[in-house]
Structure formats: C-alpha cells, structure tokens
Amino acid sequence: MEFFGQYSFLQYVTLILGAIIIGINKTGMPGIGTLPVVMLALAFPANLSTGIQLLMLATADIMAVSYYRISGDWKLVLKLLPCAVGGLLLGSFSLRYVNDELLRQLIGGIILFMAVLGIVKDLFFNAEKIPNHPLLAGVIGATAGFTTQVANAAGPVMALYLLAMRLPKKEYMGTSVLFFLLINWIKMPIFIFEGRINLTALKLLLPMIPFLLLGAWLGVVFIRKAPQKLFNAIIQILVIISAIKLLFS
C-alpha cells in the first residue's frame, strides 16, 4: 500500500470502482464514461482526478483497441479528428479563464441538448442517419475535443453521434475506441504541461491496471450478450443521466 499512503480507504475504493467502470466503458458500455468523471472529481483534487483518469483511459484504450482492432470505421474517425484537436486546444485555453462549476454545467447542458435532439429525431423524423455533412462532423468533433480536454467527458457526445450513424454494436465500439485512443494520447503532453499528470498520478495508475483489465473483460461479456436495441437504449439512458448529473453537480 505504499503507493496510497496519503489517501483514505474511501479514495482507494473510488479509484478501484472508477478503474473497473472505465474498463467496462471502453469495451462494452461507452455511455457510462461520465460516471468515473463525477466519482473521481468528488474523491480527489480536480487536477489529480482528471490526470489519473486520463492515464486510466489511455491505458484502457490500448486494451480496447487490441480487441476491436479490425472493427472501427477509420473514415468516421478521421472526419472527426481535426476539429476534435481544435476543440481540445480551445478547452485547454478555456480552463485558464472559466471556473470548474461553470464548465461542468456547460458540458452537461451540451450533452443533454444533444441527447434530447437525438430522441426527438428518432421519434418524429425517423431518419436512417444524420446527413453526412462535413459541418456536422466538425461540430461533433469540436464538441468532443472540448469536453474531453475539460473533463474527460466526451463519451456521451460520441455516443450520440455513433448511434445516429446506425453502426452495429461491434463497429460502434471499434470506431469509438479508435477515436479515443488517438485523442487521449494527443491530450497526454498537454495534461503533463498543465500539471494534471505527474508522478503521483502515475503511481496511482499502476495498481489500477488489473482492475482496468477486469472492467475490460466485463465489457466484452456485456457487448456479446446485449441485443442491439437494448445496447442503444442503455447508452441513451446513461447519457441523459450523466448529463443531468454534470449539469446540476
């Protein structure tokens, strides 16, 4: 326990649960990605919580890509990536001038609006997919980049977009993990420069790797057994719950 000498039992438990949820999120249930954001933010100082979470996310990304390596849609990923990097830089700039509470509310509001918009579209327009327009991909990419840089909370944004693309479960997951593998490793030097990733965060990561693996395995079990409609419904519900939590936390 020398890694954790200065932390409480509750912080240990939160860290372990967060690692398991992140593993599940990466391989089976992308809609739960904001849950560890909230958990770790409540248990650790803001800078440390986002730093340790990024380290766990980036590690879990490698695990997930090794499983879904042939299932992702590279065209979708590359369409989103340039604007995502722009949003990432904007998020880094915004952190210097906007307080944490306002940013959480902004992120929650954006995600909730997009979730409601997706439900309205499905109920009243019954479109097979969102129009494949570069402007839409740019907005989604920029929003994902901004939210992931500010709070590691871009999962719901990507979940809504990929659901709208009507991807089958495995292609959905493969595309999601490819995008986040790239964006999370691009974020790494920025987080180090900002002081959010340091030796303390790295020491907290190492004992969590087995729990990330456990979560990744549980996610794979879920994705194999869940019917497509149930999979989509669970993600939509978790996206809305997470957005409300961010909006009012």
d(CA 177, CA 72): 8
d(CA 82, CA 104): 24
| Position 159 confidence tier, pLDDT thresholds 50, 70, 90 | confident
Query: pLDDT by residue (tens digit) across 98-145?
Result: 776 776 676 667 667 766 766 665 665 544 545 556 677 788 888 888
* pLDDT score of 73: 84
Minimum mean pLDDT range among 58-72, 115-129, 184-198:
115-129
- From the number of C-beta atoms within 10 Å of its C-beta (0-12, 13-18, 19+), residue 2 rates as exposed
* pLDDT score of 182: 93
CA-based radius of gyration for the chain: 17
Tokens linked to 169: 């479960």
Q: What is the pTM of this model?
A: 0.77
Domain boundaries, the chain: 7-248
